[in-house]
Amino acid sequence: MSYWKNQRVWVTGGTGFLGSVITKKLRERGCQEILATGIEHGDLVDPAVIHRHFEFRPNLVIHLAANVGGIGANRERPAEFFYQNLMMGVQLIHESWKAGVKKFVAIGTICAYPKFTPVPFKEEELWNGYPEETNAPYGLAKKMLLVQSQAYRQQYGWNSIYLLPVNLFGPGDNFNPASSHVIPALIKKFVEAKKSETDHVIAWGDGSPTREFLYVDDAAEGILLAAEHYDKPEPVNLGSGMEISIKDLTTTIARHVGFSGEIRWDTTQPNGQPRRRLDISRAEKEFGFRAKMGFEEGLKRMVELYRNEHEKNRL
């Protein structure tokens, strides 16, 4: 608590899905000086916006802001995802160093790992191949922040750390079908299909890929533990250690929603990376992080909150 009382923290993306949880947890820890910004406060690709925010004089920056989306969005807008994520991150790290920020927490992505990384993904495997093609521009743009963090540490002795969270889920997630990830996309599909009494739902791919998911509150806790305790150049995975196939995930969500119709697999759509599961031992060793929320319980909460919100919007 005493550590956070003395911090002035800028959380980029601080009004978003993960950022709002981190901001809440910062306040609970006694942090009184917090700047939480989102796209509504200006685009960080514009250096003038970054300079304006530095009037807050932060000594710790947690960089969450990103242009993100699922497989469809990555296929449609690869240039945007590469340019915007690279430019906001590179400029923000450089300006933070120039401004004398004491510590920078860069949030990477599991999309940075090679397409055929041995499971579980160890941080040492990060450079042993090219990322899965549908999200490579995004993954590579975010991975450059690791290169920059390590370069600034080497040349300037500057304290920048790099974290690799797995796919997040939980209340407040993005349910926009144009940009959402797999869990909110499926929840929305099944809830709407049940309400309209549709006899089937179409899911992308063949259901064979596997994914790992981390509840948003756990992710926020891991990031803040790393911010407080971790000061090394090596990247660190943040995950839950679980693995589930997209097919099993889909049937599980259908069960929680109460949808009993047919699930049809559109195999003309891409599967994405074949498998994803992280080695989470470094995070536990370095700063004592282990996820607490069980996947089934977290998923149940998310379905219930979305259904309640859906009902309110219909009234």
Question: Active-site residue numbers?
Answer: 138
Backbone φ and ψ of 163, nearest 5°:
-115, 145
**Bridge partner residues of 10 (DSSP):** 35, 61
Q: How many CB atoms lie within 10 A of CB 203?
A: 24
CA quadruple 233, 158, 223, 133: dihedral, nearest 10? -60
**Bridge partner residues of 162 (DSSP):** 106
Contact 238, 163 (CB under 8 A): yes
Helix (H, G, I), strand (E, B) or coil at 198: coil
Reference 106, options 152, 71, 70, 40; nearest CA is 152
Helix (H, G, I), strand (E, B) or coil at 214: strand
Determine the Cα–Cα distance for residues 191 and 200; give it in Å rounded to an integer: 12
Contact 10, 61 (CB under 8 A): yes
Helix, strand, coil % over all residues of the chain, rounded to 5? 50, 15, 35
